[in-house]
Amino acid sequence: MALNLIMLGPPGAGKGTQAERLARSRGIPRISTGDILREAVAAGTAVGERAKAIMDRGELVSDEVMIGIVHERLDRPDVVNGFVLDGFPRTVAQASALDGLMAGRGSLIVVDIVVPEVELARRLSTRLICADCGVNAAFSGTPPVRCERCGGRLVQRSDDLDKVVLERLKVYHRQSEPLVEYYRVRPTFRSIDGAQPPDRVAADLVAAVEAASADPAQPGARR
């Protein structure tokens, strides 16, 4: 049975790290809309320039643009055994559109990573990102010079500056938090504590996915 997983949670919750880890262990693609947008920004396309201006203000790219990006990505053959979606959906409108895109693909498992806001602000204000591949790195007092993955230069993201961090969290609460209510009634919804060490979060994520997959209310669930 294909594993179709959505990772929910605010900026700084660790969605990217955990999505990459789980996708690699299951041999399915991690689909990060943030990575796709950053590629467009780096390429200097018209869409990329518009997206950069929006993201630099701590706002979200339009539903129409994001739905189109994900639709194209889900049409590729490498998702036949499932996928891990990181950064989509972020609004109820996007979630509703995704339900339509999932016709014939099986059920969605939804995991919400919960982290207190004070911890989110700390993480975001001390986070660095590789200018080349986009991977995140924590600031530990002495900035690392190079990315462990590709050797690229590590810099602070423009949308991780203090004032923008606060705006990003406001935008999340206003527009994205209702997703939890949208998905909460589904038997495949789970919530985990993201304030724990990464290995503990990863273990809880695997347990949540297994429990949701085995839920008898889910179509095609294991018995």
User: Is 122 an active-site residue?
Assistant: no
User: Is 157 an active-site residue?
Assistant: yes
Rg of the chain over CA atoms, in angstroms? 17
**Which of 76, 157, 174, 184 does the annotation list as catalytic?**
157
**Which of 52, 90, 123, 190 does the annotation list as catalytic?**
90
**Which of 15, 38, 52, 73 does the annotation list as catalytic?**
15
CB-CB contact of 116 with 14 (8 Å): no
Q: Distance of CA 85 to CAs 16, 209, 222, Å?
A: 9, 14, 23
Q: Which residues pair with 92 in a beta bridge?
A: none
User: Is 200 an active-site residue?
Assistant: no
**Which of 21, 30, 73, 127 does the annotation list as catalytic?**
127
**Which of 38, 73, 123, 168 does the annotation list as catalytic?**
168
What is the residue-wise DSSP string for the chain? --EEEEEE--TTSSHHHHHHHHHHHHT--EEEHHHHHHHHHHHT-HHHHHHHHHHHTTPPPPHHHHHHHHHHHHTSGGGTTEEEEES---SHHHHHHHHHHTTTS-PPEEEEEE--HHHHHHHHHTEEEETTT--EEE--SS--SB-TTT-PBEE--GGGSHHHHHHHHHHIIIIITHHHHHHHTSTTEEEEETTS-HHHHHHHHHHHHHHHHH-TTSTT---
User: Is 90 an active-site residue?
Assistant: yes
Q: Residue 128 has which token pair?
A: 């660095």
User: Is 174 an active-site residue?
Assistant: no
| Catalytic site positions | 15, 90, 127, 157, 168
